[in-house]
Chain A
Amino acid sequence: MRELDYAGVEKVLVSFIRQSIHKAGLQRGIVGVSGGLDSAVVLALTQKAMGSEHTLGLFLPYRLTAAESAAHAEAICKKLAAPLEVIDISPQIDLYFSARPTTERVLLGNKCARERMSILYDYSARRQALVVGTSNKSELLVGYSTLWGDSAAAFHPLGDLYKTQVFALAERLDIPQEIRAKQPSADLWPGQTDEGEIGICYLELDEILFRLVDKRHTPQEIVAAGTPAATVEKVLRLIRQSQYKRTLPPIPKLQARTIGLDFRYLRDWDK
């Protein structure tokens, strides 16, 4: 994995967050704080960009959310002097599933992720604040996210950093040790871990992704360098299968100029 100039990373990301929020005509950022590493790092960057009073943390637990998550969400907001609001999403989630029971944990997890998105965007309008996303490059590339759930945001400051690089940035930003030390988890059900779900540890996953994506190594070259072929194939499959999560929904072309195809503008149009 490539070493980065983390002072430079911090400067670029803080400047990016500040300029993106200002270009939207706003002064505040809002972060869904889970108690985990990515949201702690994003909260710290947003706080540096906008100041504590313009950085809102929202902790949105479900009744199965780990108890330590609440403590960690509170700890990072306190450390950064950022206001924190807590909304328990259990009533609406349980009401929905009481009428439509399921034993599939993924359905419950996705529903929780989308409920959190719904509340973040409600707060975005109420508080005139942009939703700052927390997805990193590793999870975006393998599709480890809920479509229109945790992947929904105004922008993703960590979207070009692999998870192992987020750890290094977290150290630079002095994120509390207890947050940095715990196993990465989407915390959608008890005992869930990212690495358990993806089936590969981040160290190995990031190395494969970095070589495939950034260095343009062929799968054969990565296997020849010592990674098991089955692991490389699995990562390739995850990337291909999740491409739909990284693009906007396609529109069938009928007329001269079609949105997304030949109606092409950056969102910074006139900004």
Chain B
Amino acid sequence: MKIRAVQFAPALGDVERNLEFHLREIDRARRESVELIVFPELSLSGYHLKDIVYDISLTPQHAAFKEISRLSREIDVILGAPWEEPRGIIYNAGLCFSKGELSHRHLKVQLPTHGMFEERMIFKPGGEFRPFALSGHTAGMLVCREILFPIYAYLYYLQHTDLLIGISNSPQRNMAAGGFASLELWESMGYVYSQFFHQNYLFVNRVGFEEGIGFPGGSFFARAGAGIVQKAKYHDPDFLDCEADPADVRRARVSANYLRDEEPHVVLRELRRILHA
């Protein structure tokens, strides 16, 4: 499957302008035979929404989704939006559009609320990690901080996903002599998901600034069993075209047999013991 990651800088709170950008890029990707296009977390709205969220959250009936659904007859689309359903309850959602409709939504479970992060102040956390079908693939979606908790990817892995999509709005922070330490976090998880969970894994991060908070991009594709094989630019807008092949997942699984040798019942039994101790 030919996938395109779109690394860009959404305008904060300007859904109309962001939607226009999405529609243009979806249409261009469709004409260039891309089969799946992926935008970053909260790509329709920007990240530090604070009180803006109450003015611009999108209900399932929003006109934006009608237009994106229409385009998804010919190309699958994954994007991020503040999703309001039911009325007055807002989630940080990753949405997948396929075959002319909204085919899957992942409501972010891990909402960072510390330091510069305030997600729990405006969003309700989701509660599940369900895989979804995508042009011959079994996919799982992780939103930003969820990527840093490998137990969530593990849940997808046990449900036999072969394609993990991580969409992110990770700010750059903790600079040292080698650059931003925050970038290493995401890349090390790419290595883990590729090498130990045998997933084809696409990480899509945004760029640009919201006030002084900068987003470094650095989107990448990690091939199952091979680690990171393609990277987008750091700091600047970019597009990353990659090819996810389920055959790579099979090759990795049969060479190391991690999935076959998993013992989830032992994990469950031990979790019960720990939680009920």
A11 to B217, CA, bound (A): 14
Q: Does B235 contact A (CB under 8 A)?
A: yes
Mask, B225-256, CB within 8 Å of A = 1, is: 00000000001000000000000000000000
Stretch at the interface among A179-187, A194-202, A221-229, A260-268: A260-268
Are A5 and B172 in contact, CB atoms less than 8 angstroms apart? no
A20 to B175, CA, bound (A): 21
A121 to chain B, nearest CB (A): 20
Please report the total number of A residues contacting B with Cβ < 8 Å.
Answer: 25
Are A19 and B176 in contact, CB atoms less than 8 angstroms apart? no
Known contacts A3-B177, A5-B179: A266-B235 contact under CB 8 Å: no
Q: What's the count of A-B pairs with C-beta under 8 Å?
A: 63
Mask, A4-29, CB within 8 Å of B = 1, is: 11001101100110011000000000
Mask, B194-224, CB within 8 Å of A = 1, is: 0000000000000011111010000000000
Are A266 and B180 in contact, CB atoms less than 8 angstroms apart? no
Give A262's nearest chain B residue, CB to CB: B51
Are A2 and B235 in contact, CB atoms less than 8 angstroms apart? no
Stretch at the interface among B10-18, B69-77, B134-142, B269-277: B10-18
Q: Does A271 contact B (CB under 8 A)?
A: yes
Known contacts A16-B209, A264-B51: A270-B13 contact under CB 8 Å: yes
Instruction: Give the chain A neighbours of B11 by CB distance below 8 A.
Output: 270-271
A159 to B180, CA, bound (A): 17
Instruction: Give the chain A neighbours of B178 by CB distance below 8 A.
Output: 5
Are B14 and A270 in contact, CB atoms less than 8 angstroms apart? yes
- Interface set, chain A 87-109, CB cutoff 8 A to B: none
Are B179 and A8 in contact, CB atoms less than 8 angstroms apart? yes
Give A214's nearest chain B residue, CB to CB: B174
Are A12 and B48 in contact, CB atoms less than 8 angstroms apart? no
**CB within 8 A of B214: which of A12, A155, A159, A263?**
A12
Q: Does B23 contact A (CB under 8 A)?
A: no
Q: Point out residues on A near B: beta carbons under 8 Å.
A: 2-5, 8-9, 11-12, 15-16, 19-20, 155, 159-160, 262-271
Question: Ordered nearest first, which 5 A-B pairs have the shortest CB separation?
Answer: A3-B177, A264-B50, A5-B179, A268-B12, A264-B51
